[in-house]
Amino acid sequence: MMYASHPLGPDPTSATSAPTPSTLGETSPGAVRLRVAPSPTGDPHVGTAYMAMFDLAFARQQGGKFVLRIEDTDRARFNETSEQQLYDTLGWLGLRWDEGPDVGGPYAPYRQSERLETYRPYVDKLIEDGHAYYCWCSQERLAQLRADRAAAKSPQTGYDRMCLGMTKEERAKLPGFTENPVVRMRVPDDVELGFDDLIRGHVNAPRPDDQVILKADGFPTYHMAVVVDDHLMGIDTVVRGEEWISSTPKHVLLYQWLGLTPPKFAHMPLLRNTNKSKISKRKNPEARLTWFQEQGYLPEAV
């Protein structure tokens, strides 16, 4: 099946003629490939530079490659000026990438919005194999479900699987139906919640719910797109913040269902304020990378 056998080597039909920076030199056989994958939803977060710094340092140490991928599938929060700000601020800090939307590379395109046809076959395979299903529940119905559970102080969270096993016609006879379905992954009752982390050792995560993997607008969610893209781009080491620990069992499941080898995971501690709270762009001006430029900081100081 095509889903499990995509080559990790360069595809000459997708190669670009754009110049590639030689920051890391030639990749040696078996060398690591790491990526930073920010979403263009506003001013770049300082956490993006934080992760990129570790990605780049490890890639340099190992003689590997550092990739910049733009994860722009959240069209509701998309900010068209944010992508250029990412190039400008990361470049200002000297965190240069070997492959990316602006410089090209053997796995182009590096914007997820330009890769929509790539994801659909993987989603269809999950549906065919019984690992995913269509959900026709309206946003109003889901909001009411959350409100009812909150009022009842129910410990249950996540989707209640109302649409599981139903055809569109059967579901249409019930309240809270919408013509435009999403696709959800079907998480088994015996899902493995533990995984090995390069930093933390063996980690146990909370049980995931039936996560949406394809939205009604045809765009994949983060969880689906990141698995497909990391595989196709040959990413073998994923460095990200610890807030993604709870999502890792979902990602490992998707890799297993698709017959793919998952990367190694390294979950970094978050950047925090002096009072231990998470740095937020809504509350902390210094969470924005552009703030340091505006205040006259030297990139070396940052």
Residue stretches of the chain with pLDDT short of 70: 1-30
Of the listed 264, 276, 281, 283, which one is catalytic? 281
Q: Give CA–CA dist 240/48, Å, rounded.
A: 9
Q: What is the pLDDT of residue 27?
A: 43
Cα–Cα dist 135/236, whole Å: 32
Q: How many of the other CB atoms lie within 10 Å of CB of 202?
A: 8
- Residue 28: the pLDDT is 52
Contacts with 111 (C-beta within 8 Å, 6 or more apart), sequence order: 69, 70, 72, 101
* 189, two tokens: 């009752």
CA 166 → CA 67, 142, 174, 209, 270, distances in Å? Answer: 41, 17, 11, 18, 42
Q: How far apart are CA 160 and CA 148, in angstroms?
A: 12
Res 30: pLDDT: 65
pLDDT given at position 43: 87
pLDDT at 57: 95
Spell out the residues 6+ positions from residue 186 whose beta carbon is closer than 8 angstroms to its own: 130, 131, 132, 133, 164, 210
CB atoms within 10 A of CB 93: 18
Residue type, 71: E
Q: What is the pLDDT of residues 46-70, one digit of tens each?
A: 999 999 999 999 999 999 999 999 9
Q: Are 81 and 87 in contact (CB under 8 A)?
A: no
pLDDT score recorded for residue 59: 96
Distance, CA of 38 to CA of 279 (rounded, Å): 16
Let me know if 281 is a catalytic residue. Answer: yes
The predicted-structure confidence for 129-140, as pLDDT tens digits, reads as follows: 999 999 999 999
* pTM for the model: 0.85
What residue type is 107 in one-letter code?
A: Y
